Amino acid sequence: MAEARFVARKANARIWLAGGWLLLALLAAIFAPLVAPQDPLAQDLMLERLPPFWLQGAEPGYWLGTDSLGRDLLSRLVYGGRIAFIVAFAAATAACLVGSVLGLIAGYFGGWADRIVSRIVDIWMAFPPVLFAILLVAVLGTGLGSVIVAIAVIDWTRFCRVVRAEAMSQSRMDYVENARIAGFGRLDIMLREVLPNVLPSIIALLSLEMGIAVIVEAILSFVNLSISTDDPTWGGIIAEGRLSIHQAWWVLVFPLITLFLTVLSFSQFGEGLKARFDPVLR
């Protein structure tokens, strides 16, 4: 009992801490024009490589310093959050829908449906994911839509494997058999009985996948294959930081901290929710 309460409290702390950071970053991204102290694209060579506020030579209004073109780092991070969150929500949702539907079908019906889906998953697992993402974006052309499609196309297998395994074990349970005897149709049973029981795992994975999507977007913009406009992205800022690392370490450090906190929060938020809603652990 005491242990269960401890687990629940730990889960709560995780949810609040991680959720707090995500909410803060999300609000900053949504209200970027109000939050950002400067224009994220404005270059000023008089202000190049200003250090963050606590160091000598800092300028007021440029809290985290500037990059080698004199652009305000904090403003760029805030605006970069827009791309990161759009990709996170859209790509993870798309991957979740595709993977869960295929996983439910394979796990519940078994037989041929399962064999075909499993074979496709095997083929997908033989691709190095980052290379696959880069290849897809190169083929589809850079742009926000391509990045989202590429991540969804690659990562649906993550959902498919988990949902398939859960649906398979659920479909053997008594309550499903009872529903069948009671005369419910297969689709009905799948949506009304099996899906709700698989949902906690799906939600935890969805949150985890959002963190992964943020990283993949950062990797794609790091190699300059994400969105093709001038809009700042976290990966793009990191690429600039990597180049000027010996002259201006802050251009690499701050986006790194931002990315780190965001990815960690997404995974902890998901784990926390799962621990809280998992009937076995509860």
Partner 1 sequence: MILQRFLARLFTMLVTLFGVAVVVFVVIRIAPGDPIAMMLPPGASQADIDRLRALYGLDKSLIEQFFIWLSGVLHGDFGTSISLRQNVLGLVMSRLPATLELSILALIIALAVGLPLAVIGTRERGTAVEAGIDVANGAALSIPDFLWGLVLILLFGVLWPVFEISGRVSPRLELPFVTQFYLFESIVRLRFDLTRDLIGHMFMPALALALPLAAIISQLLKQSLKELMGLDYVVLARVKGFSETQVILREALKNAALPTLTLVGVQFTFLIGGTVIVERLFSYEGLGNMAIDAVVNRDLPLIQGIVLVFALIFVLINLVVDMMYALLNPRLRHG
Using CB under 8 A, list all residues that contact partner 1: 119-120, 122-123, 125-132, 134-136, 138-139, 141, 211-212, 215, 218-219, 222-225, 238, 242, 245-246, 249, 252-253, 256, 259-260, 263-264, 267-268
Residue 31: CB atoms within 10 A of its CB come to: 11
DSSP calls for 118-171: HHHHHHHHTS-HHHHHHHHHHHH-SSHHHHHHHHHHHHHHHHHHHHHHHHHHHH
Cβ atoms of 164 and 107 closer than 8 Å: yes
Amino acid at 200: P
How far apart are CB 106 and partner 1 at their closest, in Å? 16
Residue closer to partner 1 by CB (options 189, 237) is: 237
Residue closer to partner 1 by CB (options 94, 121) is: 121
How far apart are CB 181 and partner 1 at their closest, in Å? 37
> Distance (Å, rounded) from C-alpha 87 to C-alpha 81?
10
Overall residue count recorded for the chain in this entry? 282
144-171 and 73-109 helices, crossing angle to 10°: 40
Positive or negative, the CA dihedral 264, 266, 270, 276 is positive
How far apart are CB 268 and partner 1 at their closest, in Å? 7
> Distance (Å, rounded) from C-alpha 5 to C-alpha 269?
18
Residue closer to partner 1 by CB (options 35, 98) is: 98
How far apart are CB 223 and partner 1 at their closest, in Å? 5
How far apart are CB 238 and partner 1 at their closest, in Å? 7
Measured in whole angstroms, the distance separating CA 144 from the mean position of its chain's CA atoms is 15
Residue closer to partner 1 by CB (options 41, 253) is: 253
SS3 state at 81: helix
Instruction: Return the H-helix or E-strand segment holding 108.
Output: helix 73-109
How far apart are CB 129 and partner 1 at their closest, in Å? 6
How far apart are CB 273 and partner 1 at their closest, in Å? 15
> Distance (Å, rounded) from C-alpha 43 to C-alpha 226?
22
Cβ atoms of 38 and 50 closer than 8 Å: no
How far apart are CB 97 and partner 1 at their closest, in Å? 21
Cβ atoms of 184 and 255 closer than 8 Å: no
Residue closer to partner 1 by CB (options 23, 223) is: 223
